[in-house]
Structure 1
Amino acid sequence: MTPAARISAAIEILAALAARSRPVADTLKDWGLSHRFAGSGDRAAIAGLVYDTLRRRASAAAVMGSEAPRALVLGMLATLRGLDVAAIARYADDSRFAPAPLSADEEARLANPSLADAPPFVRGDYPQWLHASLRHVFGEDVVAEGQALAARAPLDLRVNSLKATPEAARAALSHLNPEPGRYSPLALRIVLDADGKAPPVSAEPAFLHGEVEVQDEGSQIAAILAQPLPGTQVLDLCAGAGGKTLEFAALMDNKGQIYAHDADIRRLKPLHERLTRAGVRNVQVRSPRGAEPVLADLEGHMDLVLVDAPCTGTGTWRRNPDAKWRVRPGALAQRTAEQAKILEEATQYVKPGGRLAYVTCSLLDEENGAQIRALMAKCPDFAPIPPAETVLALGTPGLALKDAALASREGLLLTPRRTGTDGFFVSVLRRAV
């Protein structure tokens, strides 16, 4: 496919996305199945155009004065990819499979794609209704934080220390040019190509042999700050597919016991295969069984309970830009109610002197600090460990992390702009003896 044809395809896909509110990955898959002539390189390039357009939807619409799919793609080419009006016109030349030529209005807008007078939520490319919440957290930096969330994310890997060293894994993947992470000693980072196409890591021998897992460095940091110690008893209450469960097992050197649970048994399905591939031997999966209290025997016995809470995912907008525009106020209210319930449930499993780690991939105080403050009001025997203390689990890089992240009494907030990771909130609380 020509570059112009790829742009036309991106416009077509965005139109389908607007007609039916679905995850963009599903819409891209459907398009690929109905356009089998498009090769893998074409599909990757088209997906890059679609995702980039969603990342910059608000600013592209402001530049073009329209939210029509064509206007959004053209605006993105100017605001994100930096193409001038002449370059865009060369693609929109009405040749076979190319977009129609630019109108006079489009030419005028693309010739001066300035956002200098646009409101903060447009310049930061985030939903208007979230402006007050984001400004509450970031103050005058809200636009810069939003712009960082509208950039592309790198591909981060976690080295599984049960099977490999960071040096050995980096050597095995040297053809992908991985670099060490900034803060996590287990992280390797791969910068994506110009189209945003990620290499097929899941086909690499190092992945197939369980030596590396795909995991954002921020998620790795959260698990390290929770400090799962070898020989202890740990409950991962919202384990999902098990990313942090696997990291806990490695950090514990397969010693002690980890209980992995999730209220939705479907989320646990990938975990069993991942445990085998990673060489993990100290994890017991406790799947839900109707109303049966499958965790009752753990009450009051856990050295550490992790609540990797369901949330709005505002910290993952780089990877899921369509979610940025699909989230609604009702979803935030639903998530905060779920979080409060799960947090209170988690306290019953923490033994005296034990720890409760609360993690979200959200940037909103409603889901982060406010939840911790509410928990302390209900459970005064729990108190946050100061971030200056929790970061020491990372060694020397922890001191740099403390300076880079947003620290509060309740915990630590990582963001793409500040720490180069996805957005994560981490709070570690200790129960009084």
Structure 2
Amino acid sequence: MSLLLESIRQHKAGQPTGIYSVCSAHPLVLEAALRQGLEDDSVVLIEATSNQVNQFGGYTGMQPADFRDFVFGLADKAGFDTARLILGGDHLGPNAWRQLPAAEAMVLAGDMVRGYVAAGFRKIHLDCSMSCAGDPLPLSDAVVAGRAAQLCAIAEAAWRDAGGDAPVYVIGTEVPVPGGAHEELGELAVTSPQAAAQTLKVHREVFAAAGLGDTFERVIAMVVQPGVEFDHHKVVRYNAAKAETLSAFIEAEPLVFEAHSTDYQSDTALAELVRDHFAILKVGPGLTFALREALYALDVIERESIGEFGASHLKAVIAQVMQEEPDYWLPYYAQPGHQQYLDRNYSLSDRIRYYWPHPKVVAAQQTLFANLAKQPLLMTLVSQYLPEQAKKVADGRIAATAEALVIDKIMEVTRSYAAACGMARSVEPRVRRAA
């Protein structure tokens, strides 16, 4: 955790630096993040959400210790030093069980937090902002803070049992919907400095009353709404002028802001966010959106190269699986007909990301990669569908393999975040050519 704390210290000392958090469980996305860390010789922060990973497996089928081992295995494969790898838990609270009464949901949330900390996760986002069955809507700051303190006490006990670095915490009640908005967005209201001050004040008081006053010194960030979000096909861009007073407020406090739903912001906007003390940038769907772009492109390249017979038909397979098992997208894509097709395949909320672990989709992706490995990639086709990656193959910056093309496409996103956070190097490494 010293590397994360040092990043925060540098930012509070006046350096326009930050850190980005990769919120994904897809192996190619995580490998891209680790390769970005190697490219920049930087720390890598990877977070799992309460829906992805919990004591019941989440939608990935992984408990916290499973996810840790999964990520560490990828780090070993990439040659990335795990001492520079930080694991975090995002939206840890009753979100996955909010259909239950609060008392029941909080017991389950406590078990989840205990498992995360015991497994070595040390950046913990305490998110108790959602109402449970029978709760008022919205919850008061006092209730949110009280529930966060309850989970923090469990996390502290788990850390004392497990040992290692002390966990650090993120608080905040104005948390954007995980994965983007469900409805079409207009202009967003930025959190007022008065609301941010009230949230911070109430949390300090409640934590102190719960005997966690010293622990509160390890709260490194607060989630607020800087005015960024995305819906299915539109992005609300960051407007620095509208966040000016909010940005000024945090300068007098020992913590920074954490910005959620920063996916699809421009390079300039990301840099402005970091400059304005949103020093932790969360990115998730933007990474899997790039993954989907690359895999769809390879699906076309494969069929153009070898013909329809024997091809993986990856796009068709995932379409079939989504139709057969619509729970992850049907509540979000309400428009019927062709619009629903467009939303399923190309929405910025990227509900496809829930289907990549499906056995049928995994098998199709493996077939796709195997087919493309049987003979050298036809670079004219790569140039047609992945032109930037084709240039890098020609320049010797990446290998001419399906996996390398996909990872580099994802790294178009990680490089943008690394640059905004002051982490990126100016020159990409070259691939060593065979003699």
| TM-score, normalised relative to structure 1 | 0.26
Rg larger in structure: 1
| TM-score, normalised relative to structure 2 | 0.26
